[in-house]
A and B are shown apart, each in its own frame.
With several copies, the nearest count.
Chain A
Amino acid sequence: MTQLLFFGRLGDLAGGVERTMTLSQPHAIADIIGLLDASDRLLGSALGEPRVRYAINGAIVDADALVEDEDELAFLPPVSGG
């Protein structure tokens, strides 16, 4: 089971920060966004925006990185702290 994390306004669109997904085989992040887009266009297009970064198990990666089942995939929109 893959853990998906949606931070910032992406969590509002996803209806929560956390969601799980079962991947029978490794998928590129871009493909996972495609799967999410198929059921929710608004969320899908937000996840694909150029300023959104991706992290697998806490490491920043590109959209073509492969996600395996048991991985944690996080979607990181522009940050703002302080």
Chain B
Amino acid sequence: MRRTIRISTDPFDPEAEIAAFRHALQNAGGMVSFTGLVRPSGHDGAVSALSLQHYPGMTERGIDEMLDDVASRWPLEAALVIHRVGEMQPHEAIVLVVTASEHRRAAFEAADLLMDYLKSRALFWKSETGAQGKVWIEPREEDYADAARWDDR
């Protein structure tokens, strides 16, 4: 499985990344992408800024291990994970996951698992700054439950 992991403070263009990913495919019949966006209204009314922190080196290693897991579960041709860190504005892309496989089910499930892991297990810390100051965000119960779906499969 071809893989790319990129964590950066630079804004990225999700569709340019998806297009580059698609053009490199050899024999995939399907490609699934998930793009996470900064919502204009967050946990605390209007969000003025969203900030993400990571543990350089270790966060990348954790995602690389997730991709090992994904590669062992499904026959994917390629997978891509891009994650923004630092300060972000509403409507900007935070995260992009793209997967490609011969048949669609593998691509859907792999993208789904990667997002569940990125939300609740990867080493990122997210804060929102709104009217009431800075708030550190923790995964919702739903996010933990989503990630746990894959543990016994």
Contact = CB atoms under 8 A, between A and B. Distances in A.
A79 B134 contact: no
Interface string B49-80: 00011010110010000000000000000000
Contact of B55 (A76, A78, A80): A76
Contacts of B58: 55, 58, 74
Nearest to A8: B125
Interface in A9-46: 9, 11-12, 17
Contacts of B46: none
B44 to A, nearest CB: 15
Contact of A8 (B53, B120, B139): B53
B137 interface: yes
Q: How big is the B interface, by class?
A: 20 to 34
A5 B53 CA distance: 12
B107 interface: no
Interface string B115-148: 1001111111111000000101111000100000
B55 A82 contact: no
Contact of B125 (A55, A58, A79): A79
Interface in B16-70: 36, 52-53, 55, 57-58, 61
A81 interface: yes
